[in-house]
Structure 1
Amino acid sequence: MAKIAVIIDNLFEDSEYIEPAKAFQDKGHQLIHVGLEAGKTVKGKKKGTEVRIDKAVGDVSVENYDALLIPGGYSPDQLRVDEKAVRFAGDFVKSGKPVFAICHAGQLLITAQVLKGRRFTGYKSIIQDIKNAGAEFVDQEVVVDGNLVSSRNPNDIPAFVKESLKKLS
């Protein structure tokens, strides 16, 4: 089964973490929570869901994981100011391994400068940012472009999970 890195920080969108995480675990995949500080507990923005960070982003390598999940909310915007988080996400996209990005997750990938020439979707407030990064914005519930699976918002979670699980099989 796949070993999935979940890059996450405070004020993540609870449902965009909980629902994919449960679906992945239900299929036997392992989640490793990667954040700015190992041992720290981060909380969701709406329900206060608590997630304990297993590994600091500076201590991980793409080679040790099979896929990357980036939940939305304010978490990606906070992670994008950390050069190690940006490098990890960017290296993941470049590796060709699956990257699952929902809602505001695109902010981290925009900062990593890995969306140029790709088809991608995200929350409406980052549409222009996606275009400015050189990507083709596609207004669909889920967009699959090579190793990238992206969705717009929590309403798209069922389609997002379905396509993400396909990439893991």
Structure 2
Amino acid sequence: MSVVAVLIDDLFEDVEYSKPTAAFENEGHELIHVGIIKGNIVRGKKGACEILIDTSVTQAKVDDFDALLIPGGYSPDRLRSNEYAVQFVKNFVESEKPMFLICHAPQILITANVLKGRKITGYKSIKQDIINSGAEYIDREVVEDGNLISSRYPGDIPEFIAACLKKL
């Protein structure tokens, strides 16, 4: 089975974390939580989830993972201010391993400057940011472009999970 890195920080969207990760674990995939500081506990913005960070972005190596999940909420915006998190995402994109992005997750890819020429979706409030990064914004439940699978918001979670599991 696959080892999936979950890049996460405080104020993530609880359901965009809990539903995909439960589906991944139910299929036998292993989750490793990657964040700014190993051992920290990060919390969802609705308070439904608390996550222990297994490894830091300074220690995480793309080669140790088969795929990457980035939940939305405020977490991606917080992560994009950390140069090591941005570099980890950039390295993951370049590895061509599967990346699963929902809601505001594309924000960190925008900062990593890796979306030019790609097709992607995300929450409507970052549509113009996605376009300005050189990507084509597509308003659909799931958009697949090479190694990137993206969805817009919690309402797309069933389709998002199905696409992610198929890719894994």
Q: Given the two structures, how large is their TM-score scaled by the length of structure 2?
A: 0.99
SS at match of 2:159: helix
What stretches of structure 1 move > 3 A for 4+ residues in a row?
Answer: none
Shift of 1:47: 3.0
Which 10-residue stretch deviates more, 46-55 or 110-119? 46-55
Q: Distance in 2 between matches of 1:74 and 1:48?
A: 15
- The aligned residue for residue 155 of structure 2 is 155
Q: Which residue of 2 aligns with 1:37?
A: 37
Number of residue pairs aligned between Structure 1 and Structure 2:
168
Q: Within 5 A, what are the aligned runs for 1:61-80?
A: 61-80=61-80
Which residue matches 1:115?
115
Partner of 1:142 in structure 2?
142
- 1:48 shift after superposition: 3.7
For residues 91 and 140 of structure 2, the distance between their equivalents in structure 1, rounded to whole angstroms, comes to 26
Aligned-pair identity in percent equals: 61
Please give the alpha-carbon distance, in whole angstroms, between the structure 2 residues aligned to 1:90 and 1:42. 23
Provide the C-alpha distance between the structure 1 equivalents of 2:48 and 2:165, rounded to a whole number of angstroms.
Answer: 26
Equivalence map 1:80-99=2 (5 Å): 80-99=80-99
Query: C-alpha displacement at 1:71, in angstroms?
Result: 0.2
SS at match of 1:42: strand
For structure 2, the residue ranges without an aligned partner over 5 or more in a row are none
Q: Where do residues 7-18 of structure 1 align in structure 2 (5 Å cutoff)?
A: 7-18=7-18
Q: Supply the distance in 2 between the matched residues of 1:14 and 1:105 (Cα, whole angstroms).
A: 13
SS in 2 for 1:141: coil
- Alpha-carbon distance in structure 2 between the residues aligned to 1:99 and 1:166: 13
Report the Cα distance in structure 2 between the residues aligned to 1:94 and 1:165, rounded to whole angstroms.
21
Separation in structure 1 between the aligned mates of residue 27 and residue 145 of structure 2, nearest angstrom: 23
Return the alpha-carbon distance in structure 1 between the equivalents of residues 47 and 59 of structure 2.
Answer: 29
1:106 counterpart residue number: 106
User: Offset at 1:90?
Assistant: 1.1
Distance 1:130 1:112 in 2: 12
Q: Secondary structure at the match of 1:58?
A: coil
Q: 1: CA distance between counterparts of 2:47 and 2:149?
A: 25
TM-score normalised by structure 1 residue count: 0.98
Tell me the amino acid that sits aligned with residue 32 of structure 1.
I
User: How far did residue 46 of structure 1 move?
Assistant: 1.1
